[in-house]
Amino acid sequence: MRKLPRVLVVEDEPSIAELIAVNLRHNGFAPTVVFDGAAAQREVDAVLPDVILLDWMLPGESGASLARAWRKNERTKTIPILMLTARSDESDKVQGLDAGADDYITKPFSTQELLARIRAVLRRRAPEIVNDSVQVGELALDAATYRITFRGTELKVGPTEFKLLHYLMKHAERVHTRGTLLDKVWGDHVFIEERTVDVHVKRLRESLGEASGMIETVRGAGYRLTSMNNTGRPAQGAPISAA
Ligand code: CA
């Protein structure tokens, strides 16, 4: 039920790109392969990947230049970038890291090394896609067993509502815009309407029953998950509007 981590592979050498894609697919990732920077940008504009494998030497715009541009952009600046380089020269690695790459890997590399590096950057930069458990007040969510409980009673929620709740709980007490939620939960804020978020928040509140007041609508801003006070009522100043 959990989505596979999306990996954008930007590599102009078809045999290497194919080898990487096959290995990623066999190991629980969802790879997309593009051969140049323009195609990579189109892909990033459409759907945010969870991690980018970026070749240093590309036809047209260089990997370093792409990495710099993504780091400057609000929407893409936190996507982990793993630079692929055929060079072993130390200064090139430093340049790659300076350009905004999180890590680099020198060709030729083993599949195991590549997978380990990808998992490492995902752990460091994208905790929300890790299977874990989180508790806010009396609401508990265990991503590994796919269970949600409130005051010890199990609640049933749909798969999208589960991901949405997981994200809100991991970032509790903070206000999230609909655009942020689309990026973080759906992986895309370009082609999905913001109203989609409202629909799923409404469904989530229905599933949460007594705990529904923990999800606050912050007028003109977005949504926030907050722990309830000990009377079991939503915290003060928690308007609950229809979606
Ligand atoms: Ca290349």
What spacing in Å lies between the alpha carbon of 186 and ligand 1's midpoint?
A: 31
Q: What residue type is assigned to position 76 of the chain? A: T
Across the range 166-191, mean pLDDT stands at 83
| Residues 120, 56 within the same domain | yes
Last residue of a domain, one of 67, 93, 125: 125
Kindly report the pTM of this predicted structure: 0.55
Q: How far is the CA of 107 from the centre of ligand 1 (A)?
A: 10
Domain boundary among 76, 98, 125: 125
Stronger pLDDT, 240 or 111, i.e. the higher one: 111
Q: Model confidence over 86-142: pLDDT tens digits? A: 766 667 667 777 787 877 888 888 888 899 888 877 766 544 555 678 999 999 999
Contact 131, 182 (CB under 8 A): no
> 215-218 and 147-150 as β-strands: parallel, antiparallel, unpaired?
unpaired
Q: How far is the CA of 207 from the centre of ligand 1 (A)?
A: 49
**Mean pLDDT computed over every residue of the chain:** 84
Which of 23, 22, 30, 24 lies closest to 6, judged by CA?
30
Q: From ligand 1's centre to the CA of 165, what distance in Å?
A: 40
Distance 86 CA to ligand 1 centre (A): 8
**Domains: count for the chain:** 2
Q: What beta strand segments (E) does the chain contain?
A: 6-10, 30-34, 51-55, 81-85, 103-106, 133-136, 139-142, 147-150, 153-155, 215-218, 222-225
pLDDT at 237 over 50: no
Ligand 1 center from residue 7 Cα (angstroms): 17
Query: Residues of 50-73 as b/e, b for ≥16 C-beta within 10 angstroms?
Result: bbbbbbbebeeebbbebbebbeee
CATH of the domain at 154: 1.10.10.10
Q: Return the CATH number at 46.
A: 3.40.50.2300
